[in-house]
A = this chain, B = another copy of it.
Amino acid sequence: MQIGRPGTPVSHISQAYPDRVEVRGRDLTGDLMGRLSFTEYFHLLLTGREPTEDQRFFLDLLLVAIAEHGMMPTNVAARMTLAADPASLQGAVAAGVLGAGPVILGTSGECARLLASGRGAAEIARDFRTAGRRIPGFGHPVHKPLDPRAERILELADAHGVSGEHVRLARELRDAVAPLTMNVSLPIAAVLLDLGFPVAAADAVPILARTAGLLAHLAEESENPIGLRLAAAAEEAVEYRPPS
């Protein structure tokens, strides 16, 4: 059964042969292993090209910026899931990744689409105000009045001379919706676009980053299991009320 219009049955990423693995046209063992860092390799995998020094620096920076942020809902869900099946690390990681939706940390992609939409800050702010919707990239439950990660990203973008039209638009947008806190998602999107990354990178970066945080929490969980204690605390916060 073929549903919908299919793409061309071609992939440009990689192929395994009996005696070698080719990735993006390069030899994995002879050329890439030991030469590229994981971040450089992620860039190659995602875009087909090796990064420039600026692209490498900021890809590392952005991955570090959002990999970990305390006992986030994603970490709680993953730890509870590992507690329920200690033998399935991949199941626990999957449960955590599923929580990386738009509300929690998935807004970088939306921010990128916004910044790439061709509209100005005033127009964007007005469109969202008219629609009664929250602008992606603004507001944070903990960081007030500033998100220190957002500020640091912009500072380093300026220092490295990579701030361009998308960083400028991000700042104009901040002024247009002040005093809302600009959170980390908007600078991530802005810097990626100014460095020439595709919009898809702004969707992918938070997920790879957060997977690293999840794996750290799950390694800790396997040493010191608190997942069911987390679940018990959650349960106790809710009252059962039968129909009257």
Contacts and interface: CB of A to CB of B under 8 A. Distances in A.
A37 B152 CA distance: 16
A32 B64 contact: yes
Given A152-B33, A198-B219, A203 B89 contact: yes
B86 A91 contact: no
Contacts of A103: 3-4, 83-86, 228
A164 interface: no
Contacts of A242: 12, 15, 22, 24-25
Given A28-B149, A226-B6, A144 B76 contact: no
A237 interface: yes
Interface string A81-118: 10111111111111101111111101001000000000
Contact of A39 (B39, B198, B224): B39
The 9 closest A-B pairs by CB, nearest first: A85-B101, A233-B237, A15-B240, A25-B242, A73-B231, A45-B216, A7-B224, A94-B94, A230-B234
Interface of A: 1-4, 6-25, 28-30, 32-34, 36-39, 41-42, 45-46, 48, 57, 59-61, 63-65, 67-74, 76-77, 80-81, 83-95, 97-104, 106, 109, 141-144, 146, 148-149, 151-153, 156, 198, 200-201, 203-204, 207-209, 211-213, 215-220, 222-243
